Amino acid sequence: MNWIEKIEDNFSLIKKIVFVTGAGISHESGIPTFRGKDGLWRNHDAMKLATIDAFNENPQFVWEWYNERRKNIFESFPNKGHQAIAELQELFDVVVLTQNVDGLHKKAGSRNVYELHGDIITLRCTNCDFIEENFSEFSEFPPKCRCGSILRPNVVWFGESLPQQVWRNSIIHASESDLMIIVGTSLVVSPANTLPLIAKENGSILMEINPEKTEMSAEMDFSIQEKSAKFLPEFVNELKKIKSRK
């Protein structure tokens, strides 16, 4: 049975669709992945850029790198993959659990987005509870808080916990999903990579969209080797066709 037949057969049971997304969905928006062919972690040492120890030791160096990524992200737009996911919320209860920090799902119009690894647009103080969205160039570098301490990007670094409320809600949404679509993630980073298993244990259909097989492809009901900006609009059209036949 192919994915179209499976979805058509189960259509009346599919109320909630949960997406788990990673860097690959934003690749066609011009944002590099971490472990793909031009992946950031292939040329950069994550331990020197994405840990609190690295930041404390050399905030200037870490901020220079994050500032480049902020510039890249500010110049990027959602692609057809992000847009297709946003369009789907007109037909189903759609939730997006993303590991991305680029804000592109929200920009595309998705309403229920949970950013598991935070976001790069927001800055927060390393000392007090100051936090703000910031789209501008920094006047002082590295940027400082009004309290005098250094600001950091509001992203989750290696060794740090996910924002608690976001993670709790993500588990609930995963367990409630009828169809989980995993897009553009290598599924090697924990705990995000446990979400498909939570969904599966609760009877959800699992579908993966990624040009490459991943370590978890064998767990999927359907593993589709395509790019998301091409496949997701076709997927949404197919769902619309199935709905019109019902």
Tokens 């897009």 sit on residue: 183
Q: Least distance to Zn ion from the beta carbon of 150, Å?
A: 9
Q: Least distance to ligand OAD from the beta carbon of 185, Å?
A: 3
Using the rule CB under 6 A, which residue among 23, 97, 181, 182 binds ligand OAD? 23
Q: Which of residues 131-170 bind Zn ion (CB under 5 A)?
A: 145, 147, 149
Judged by beta carbon, residue 139 or residue 197, the one nearer ligand OAD is 197
Positions marked catalytic? 117
Tell me the per-residue interface mask from 112 to 131 with ligand OAD, x by CB under 6 A, - otherwise: -----x--------------
Mention every residue, 6+ apart, whose C-beta is less than 8 A from residue 90.
none
Query: Each residue of 204-231: b (16+ CB within 10 Å) or e?
Result: bbbbbbbbeebebbeebebbbeebbbeb
With binding defined as CB under 6 A, does residue 35 bind ligand OAD? yes
Q: Least distance to ligand OAD from the beta carbon of 98, Å?
A: 8
Mention every residue, 6+ apart, whose C-beta is less than 8 A from residue 106.
113
Q: How far apart are CA 223 and CA 214, in angstroms?
A: 9
Q: Which of residues 179-208 bind ligand OAD (CB under 6 A)?
A: 183-186, 189
Nearest to 20 by CA among 169, 165, 185, 188: 185
Strand ranges across the sheet with 205-209:
113-115, 93-98, 16-21, 179-183, 205-209, 222-224
Judged by beta carbon, residue 190 or residue 244, the one nearer ligand OAD is 190
With binding defined as CB under 6 A, does residue 27 bind ligand OAD? yes
List of residues contacting ligand OAD (CB under 6 A): 22-25, 27-28, 33-36, 39, 46, 50, 99, 117, 156, 183-186, 189, 209-212, 214, 227-228
